């Protein structure tokens, strides 16, 4: 019999904050509750009211974050909008070892680093329909100051340039439609010939 198993992989989702990325990530995880597991990052950013420690992020102070960098606990880490963020090895390795795919919602610097560590990963960039739309979403969210919104928009313009380095770009003008596209990408990637594990039986 030809083996039907495949090597598990990391799925990296990047895109400007406010591009609707987090609702999108939630929708994906709802559709794939077993096979796709969210990698919870560490950050020095203050916790937002609705966020849960250990589920949205591990919230660390700068000293603790640096201590963990020194201890080699991160796959990658980067400064984003003036705060530190990092992907923990303990998160990604645990999921891959358990035979599931791991979903990373990280910025473009993180995406570049992860590409060198997991070259067989799937890199998806979520684009907002337009910068004007992005600005509107950031303001509607109401969690950022005017200065922070400006910083995020500036970063967004830079990030969108880097979208070309990704394997796929998905425009998030409609959540349902964008989610369906990403699901199709992941499905197709599980069928990639190079990921096939031969069962060794004939």
Closer to ligand 5GP by Cβ: residue 87 or 179: 87
Closer to ligand 5GP by Cβ: residue 105 or 189: 105
Does position 107 interact with ligand 5GP (CB under 6 A)? The reply is yes
| Distance separating alpha carbons of residues 41 and 59, to the nearest angstrom | 9
Does position 105 interact with ligand 5GP (CB under 6 A)? The reply is yes
| Distance separating alpha carbons of residues 11 and 4, to the nearest angstrom | 20
Strand ranges (E), the chain: 5-6, 10-14, 36-38, 41-43, 57-59, 74-80, 83-88, 101-105, 122-127, 168-171, 196-197
Bridge partners (DSSP) of residue 37 are 102
Does position 80 interact with ligand 5GP (CB under 6 A)? The reply is yes
Taking each helix axis from N to C end, the angle separating 175-190 and 21-31, rounded to the nearest 10 degrees, works out to 50
Closer to ligand 5GP by Cβ: residue 7 or 45: 45
Does position 78 interact with ligand 5GP (CB under 6 A)? The reply is yes
Closer to ligand 5GP by Cβ: residue 102 or 106: 106
Residue 199 beta carbon to ligand 5GP: minimum distance, rounded to whole angstroms: 35
Among 58, 60, 66, 109, binds ligand 5GP (CB under 6 A): 109
């Amino acid at each position: 019999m030809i083996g039907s198993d495949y090597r598990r992989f990391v799925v990296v989702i990047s895109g400007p904050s406010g591009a609707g990325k987090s609702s999108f990530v939630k929708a994906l995880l709802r559709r794939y509750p077993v096979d796709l597991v969210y990698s919870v990052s560490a950050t020095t950013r203050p916790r937002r009211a609705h966020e849960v420690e250990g589920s949205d992020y591990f919230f660390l102070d700068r000293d603790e974050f640096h201590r963990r960098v020194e201890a080699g606990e991160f796959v990658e880490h980067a400064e984003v909008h003036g705060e530190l963020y990092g992907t923990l090895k303990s998160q990604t390795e645990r999921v891959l070892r358990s035979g599931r795919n791991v979903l990373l919602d990280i910025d473009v610097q993180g995406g570049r680093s992860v590409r060198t560590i997991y070259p067989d990963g799937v890199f998806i960039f979520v684009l907002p329909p337009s910068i004007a739309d992005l600005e509107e979403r950031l303001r509607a969210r109401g969690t950022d100051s005017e200065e922070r919104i400006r910083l995020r928009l500036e970063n967004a313009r830079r990030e969108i340039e880097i979208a070309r380095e990704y394997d796929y770009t998905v425009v998030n003008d409609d959540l349902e439609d964008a989610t369906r596209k990403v699901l199709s990408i992941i499905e197709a990637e599980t069928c990639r010939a190079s990921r096939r594990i031969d069962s060794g039986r004939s």
